Structure 1
Amino acid sequence: MKAPPGTRADYRVLSPHDTRWKDMDPYGHLNNVAYYELFDTVVNAWLVNEGLIDIHDGDQIGVMAESGCRFFSEVRFPAPVTAGIRIAHIGTSSVRWEVGLFAGDSASAAAEGFFVHVYVDADTRRPKPLNDTLREGLARLL
Structure 2
Amino acid sequence: MTAEAPLAPAVSYGRLVPVTVHFDDLDALGLLHNARYPLMVERAWSELWHGYGIRFEGDWVAAGDACNAVRELRISYEAPVTRPGAYAVHLWLERLGNTGLTYGFRLCSADGATTYAQGTRVLVRLDADTLRPAPWSETFRAAGRELLRSAD
Does residue 35 in structure 1 map to residue 40 in structure 2?
no
Unaligned runs of 5+ in 2: 1-9
Equivalent position of 1:126 in the other structure: 132
Write out aligned runs for 1:1-142 (5 A): 9=11, 11-51=13-53, 53-56=54-57, 57-60=62-65, 61-105=67-111, 107-142=113-148
Matched pairs, number: 134
Partner deviation per Cα, 1:114-138 (whole Å, 9 max, x = no partner): 1111000123211101111111111
Unaligned runs of 5+ in 1: 1-7
Moved over 3 A (4+): 8-11
SS at match of 1:46: helix
Question: Retained in 1: the 8 A contact 2:17–2:44?
Answer: yes
TM-score computed with the length of structure 2 as normaliser = 0.80
Aligned amino acid, residue 73 of structure 2: S
SS at match of 1:70: strand
CA gap 1:59/1:102 in 2 versus in 1, 3 angstroms: closer
SS at match of 2:144: helix
When the two chains are superposed, the root-mean-square deviation of aligned CA atoms in Å is 1.7
TM-score computed with the length of structure 1 as normaliser = 0.85
Aligned amino acid, residue 19 of structure 2: H
Percent of aligned pairs sharing the same letter: 25
Distance of 2:130 and 2:49 partners within structure 1 = 21
